[in-house]
């Protein structure tokens, strides 16, 4: 957990309070795609095993026409949106600059950027992901558009998705504030750059003890839309609606 100074400096506790209770985005297996970095080639792909509900992916990208231009992307996959904010706070606590200014508002829940003349970098949270995109080579290169492409791809609900994903809840109904387990499967095994994304309306989603759990926020209906996307393959879609007392 980040120190008290960092939490106060960046308003971490206030940010946690602003995470919606009635909607959520949740991602599993996300990796940056070459399409996000047109003209770049991945040279490093490192993963770390999950510890305390978080796993880590680091990719380094080289410009194919300029070896002095490199980009590093760190993705921390967390168990919930709240934990993604905590992971961001921890990353910010390591930064040597006095206080990073807020970044673009369209990247997700929150973003921060390196001010000039520091090397370009963006830290942002989208769903249960805490992501860092930074210029890593001898030559500083702009990275905001790359961060926006990743955020937009995460937020996208592909219109041409084929049906076929199977979603099953532990119970066909539930109660507000009580977790409901969600199982999911696809008609094929995704490749190395395939990943799942879930959009929840009427509640939130979190991963605990290896399971995806839904938490309804109020009586009514809880809806889950799921997509399995993979570079070079048509996306797949599935949905589920639960009655909430």
What pTM value is reported for the model?
A: 0.96
Residues 125 and 220 in one domain: no
Residue pair 237/162 in contact by the 8 Å Cβ criterion: yes
What's the total number of domains in the chain?
2
Radius of gyration of the chain from Cα atoms?
A: 18
Do 169 and 148 fall within a single domain?
A: no
Virtual CA dihedral for 32, 124, 76, 66, nearest 10 degrees? 40
Decide which of 128, 155, 182 is a domain's last residue.
155
Within a domain: residue 25? no
145 and 38 co-located in one domain:
yes
In a domain, 168, yes or no: yes
Domain-embedded: residue 91: yes
Pair (143, 183) in one structural domain? no
Domain limits for position 207: 162-244
d(CA 103, CA 106): 9
Residues 58 and 177 in one domain: no
Same domain, residue pair 83 and 203: no
pLDDT 10s digit of each residue in the chain, 245 long? 788 899 999 999 999 999 999 999 999 999 999 988 887 999 999 999 888 899 999 999 999 889 899 999 999 999 999 999 999 999 999 988 889 999 999 999 999 999 999 999 999 999 999 999 999 889 999 999 999 999 999 999 998 889 999 999 999 999 999 999 999 999 998 988 999 999 999 999 999 988 999 999 999 999 999 999 998 899 999 999 999 99
């Amino acid at each position: 957990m980040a120190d008290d100074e960092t939490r106060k400096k960046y308003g971490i506790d206030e940010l946690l309070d602003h995470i919606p209770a009635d909607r959520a985005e949740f991602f599993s297996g996300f990796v940056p795609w070459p399409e996000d970095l047109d003209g770049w080639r991945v040279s490093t792909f490192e993963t770390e095993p999950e510890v305390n509900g978080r796993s880590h992916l680091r990719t380094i990208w080289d410009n194919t026409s300029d070896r002095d231009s490199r980009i590093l992307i760190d993705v921390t996959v967390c168990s919930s949106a709240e934990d993604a904010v905590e992971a961001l706070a921890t990353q910010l606590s390591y930064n040597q600059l006095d206080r990073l200014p807020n970044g673009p508002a369209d990247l997700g829940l929150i973003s921060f950027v390196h001010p000039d003349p520091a090397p370009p970098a963006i830290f942002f949270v989208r769903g249960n992901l805490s992501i860092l995109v930074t210029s890593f080579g001898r030559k500083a290169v702009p990275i905001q558009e790359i961060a926006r492409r990743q955020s937009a791809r995460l937020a996208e609900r592909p219109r041409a998705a084929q049906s076929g994903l199977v979603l099953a809840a532990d119970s066909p109904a539930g109660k507000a504030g009580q977790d409901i387990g969600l199982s999911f499967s696809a008609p094929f095994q995704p490749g190395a750059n395939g990943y799942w994304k879930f959009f929840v309306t009427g509640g939130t989603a979190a991963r605990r003890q290896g399971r995806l759990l839904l938490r309804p926020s109020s009586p009514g209906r809880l809806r889950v839309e799921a997509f399995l996307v993979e570079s070079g393959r048509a996306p797949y879609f599935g949905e589920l609606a639960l009655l909430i007392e």
